[in-house]
C-alpha cells in the first residue's frame, strides 16, 4: 500500500471534498488493519491522548487520536467488527458504523497486493465518521449519502439520507421501543460500564422512549466472533500476511500466532484446545475453535450457520418491535498498551452487528470514578487478570455505550444517538 499510489479520488470521498473538506493526514492502523491496538513496524504505536500509557483502540485508532487531540475536527474510519466504535469509545468520541453496503466502498482497498479480497465480500467494511458530537456525525453521514453509486458500480444504487426516518424517531417518541442488553454472561462488565448503561437507559426513558429488555443469547454473542474468525482465517488473513512477508514486512507477534494456529492440523489443534480447557481457560479455547482455514464444504456449512443465526436474531428483533438496541461497547475503558495482546478478542458486544450488517454507533456517557477502578468476574482466568489491570488507574477515562439499528435504518440509529445526547445534557 506504500508503493501503490491511488490514481484517482475515491467516490466515497468526493462528496466530502465537494462540500469543502480539506484532507490533512492519514491516521495509523494496526498491521493488516486487524486489531484493536494501532501498532505496526512501519509507523509505530498510537497512544491515547487521554492517557499515553493506553491504547486509542483500532483499527481506526490513529484517526480517533487525531480527532480527540483536535488535530482534525472529524475523521473517516472503517468498521467491520468494531474499528470505529472501539476507538470512539476509548477516546470519548462519537463514532458511527453505517450499514455495510449502504454506501460505496470503491477506493477502500484491502491490504493486499491486488487491493481485493474475496472474504471481505461476506462482511464488507463500512466507512463512517469519528467526531466530537452526534450532530457532526449526522451531517457527515448526509454527505456520504450523496455519492452517485449507480454511476460507479452495477452492484449498488444511491441511497440518500432519509430525513423523514430521522425526524420520526425524534418527533414521535411515544410507543417507540428501545431494546436493552446490559451484559452477557461470558463477558461481564465493570461497575463503571454498568453505571453508564443505566444512565443511558434512564436518559432514554426520560426522553420519552419505552426501554425494554431484549435477549441475545450468550452463544449468539460468541458466534459473532466465531463467524468473524472463520471468514478471516479462510483465505483473507493468510493471503494478506503472505503479501506482507513478500514485501519484507515483519509480522507482529499476534499475527504470527494467529497465522500459525489457523493452519494447524486437526490433531495438534485439538490438543492445544484441550490443554487450554484443562488449564481453566475455557473462554480462550472457545474463541479459537473457528480460527482455522476451512475447505469449501466446511466453509459453506459455516456460512449457512452464519446466515441462519442472523435471520433468527432479525426475526426476534422484528417480533419485539424495536427501533434500536442499546448494549455495552467493551467491559471497561481503554486498556493499557503493555501486554495489549491479552485483550485481543474481548469484543462480544461488537462483532455480531458487523456480521449482520446492522448500523451501530457509540456515545460517551460518563468517565470512570476512582471508586470504580475494579473488575470482578467468576472466571478467574487470564482475561480476568487483564481486565483487572485495565481497571487499575483508569479513573477519568471515558465509558461509552452502543446503539444499534436494523440494516438500512441508519437514520434511526443516529436519531436515537441524538436523543440520548440531548437528554444527557439535560440530565447533567
Domain assignment present for residue 1? The answer is no
**What's the pLDDT score for residue 256?**
86
Establish if 5 belongs to a structural domain. no
According to the model, what pLDDT value does residue 120 have?
61
pLDDT computed for residue 15 by the predictor: 87
Strands 74-79 and 94-97, by their bridges, are unpaired
Question: pTM for the complete prediction?
Answer: 0.94
Asked if residue 417 is part of any domain, the answer here is yes
Cβ partners under 8 Å of residue 404, min gap 6? 324, 325, 326, 327, 353, 358, 359, 360, 413
Q: At 325, give phi and psi (nearest 5°).
A: -135, 140
For residue 314, tell me if it sits in a domain.
Answer: yes
Kindly give the confidence (pLDDT) of every residue in the chain, 428 residues in length, as a single tens digit, with 9 standing for 90 and above.
Answer: 556 677 778 778 888 999 999 999 989 998 877 788 899 888 999 999 999 999 999 999 999 999 999 999 999 999 989 999 999 999 999 999 999 888 776 666 666 666 555 556 667 789 999 999 999 999 999 998 886 666 777 767 667 899 999 999 999 999 999 999 999 999 999 999 999 999 999 999 999 999 999 999 999 999 999 998 888 888 677 778 888 888 788 888 888 888 888 888 889 989 999 999 998 888 988 888 888 888 889 989 999 999 999 999 999 999 999 999 999 999 999 999 998 888 878 889 999 999 999 999 999 999 999 999 999 999 999 999 999 999 999 999 999 999 999 999 999 999 999 999 999 988 87
Chain position carrying cell 468473524:
228
| 3-class DSSP assignment, residue 76 | strand
In 263-401, which ranges are continuous DSSP H helix?
Answer: 266-278, 282-288, 296-320, 348-355, 382-391
Q: According to the model, what pLDDT value does residue 109 have?
A: 64
Q: Establish if 159 belongs to a structural domain.
A: yes
Structural domain that includes position 130: 11-427
User: Is the N-terminal amide bond of 208 cis, ω within 30° of 0?
Assistant: no
Asked, for residue 229, whether it belongs to a domain, the answer is yes
What pLDDT is attached to residue 73? 96
How many Å is the Cα radius of gyration of the chain?
20
C-alpha distances in Å from residue 154, one per residue of 6, 104, 111, 121, 131: 22, 11, 24, 15, 32
Give residue 190's pLDDT: 98
- Is 6 part of a structural domain of the chain? no
CB 59 within 8 A of CB 333: no
Number of domains in the chain: 1
Question: Is 294 inside any structural domain?
Answer: yes
Q: Report pLDDT for 104.
A: 72
Output the domain CATH number for residue 400.
3.90.1300.10
Amino acid at each position: 500500500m506504500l508503493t501503490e499510489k491511488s490514481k484517482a479520488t475515491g467516490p466515497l470521498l468526493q462528496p466530502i471534498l465537494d462540500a469543502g473538506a480539506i484532507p490533512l493526514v492519514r491516521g495509523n492502523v494496526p498491521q493488516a488493519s486487524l486489531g484493536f491496538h494501532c501498532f505496526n513496524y512501519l509507523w509505530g504505536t498510537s497512544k491515547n491522548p487521554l492517557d499515553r500509557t493506553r491504547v486509542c483502540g483500532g483499527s481506526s485508532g490513529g484517526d480517533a487520536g487525531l480527532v480527540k487531540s483536535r488535530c482534525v475536527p472529524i475523521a473517516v474510519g472503517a468498521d467491520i467488527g468494531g474499528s470505529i466504535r472501539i476507538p470512539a469509545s476509548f477516546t470519548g468520541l462519537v463514532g458511527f458504523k453505517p450499514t455495510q453496503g449502504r454506501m460505496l466502498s470503491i477506493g477502500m482497498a484491502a491490504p493486499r497486493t491486488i487491493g481485493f479480497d474475496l472474504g471481505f465480500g461476506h462482511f464488507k467494511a463500512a466507512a463512517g465518521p469519528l467526531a466530537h458530537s452526534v450532530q457532526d456525525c449526522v451531517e457527515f453521514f448526509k454527505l456520504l449519502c450523496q455519492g452517485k453509486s449507480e454511476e460507479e458500480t452495477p452492484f449498488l444504487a444511491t441511497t440518500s439520507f432519509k430525513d423523514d426516518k430521522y425526524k420520526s424517531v425524534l418527533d414521535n417518541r411515544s410507543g417507540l421501543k428501545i431494546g436493552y442488553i446490559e451484559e452477557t454472561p461470558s463477558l461481564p462488565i465493570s461497575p463503571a460500564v454498568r453505571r453508564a448503561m443505566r444512565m443511558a437507559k434512564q436518559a432514554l426513558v426520560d426522553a420519552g422512549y419505552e426501554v425494554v429488555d431484549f435477549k441475545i443469547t450468550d452463544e449468539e454473542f460468541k458466534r459473532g466472533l466465531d463467524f468473524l474468525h472463520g471468514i478471516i482465517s479462510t483465505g483473507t488473513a493468510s493471503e494478506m500476511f503472505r503479501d506482507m512477508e513478500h514485501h519484507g514486512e515483519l509480522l507482529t507477534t499476534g499475527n504470527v500466532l494467529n497465522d500459525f494456529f489457523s493452519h494447524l492440523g486437526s490433531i495438534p489443534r485439538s490438543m492445544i484446545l484441550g490443554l487450554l480447557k484443562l488449564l481453566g481457560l475455557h473462554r480462550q479455547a472457545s474463541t479459537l475453535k473457528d480460527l482455522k482455514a476451512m475447505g469449501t464444504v466446511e466453509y459453506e456449512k459455516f456460512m449457512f450457520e452464519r446466515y441462519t443465526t442472523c435471520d433468527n436474531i432479525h426475526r426476534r428483533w422484528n417480533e419485539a418491535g424495536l427501533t434500536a438496541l442499546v448494549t455495552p461497547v467493551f467491559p471497561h475503558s481503554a486498556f493499557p498498551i503493555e501486554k495489549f495482546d491479552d485483550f485481543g478478542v474481548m469484543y462480544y458486544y461488537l462483532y455480531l452487528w458487523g456480521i449482520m450488517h446492522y448500523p451501530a454507533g457509540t456515545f460517551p456517557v460518563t468517565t470512570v470514578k476512582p471508586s470504580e477502578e475494579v473488575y470482578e468476574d467468576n472466571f478467574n482466568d487470564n482475561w480476568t487478570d487483564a481486565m483487572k489491570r485495565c481497571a487499575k488507574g483508569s479513573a477519568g477515562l471515558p465509558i461509552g455505550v452502543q446503539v444499534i439499528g436494523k440494516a438500512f435504518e441508519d437514520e434511526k440509529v443516529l436519531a436515537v444517538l441524538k436523543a440520548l445526547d440531548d437528554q444527557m445534557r439535560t440530565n447533567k
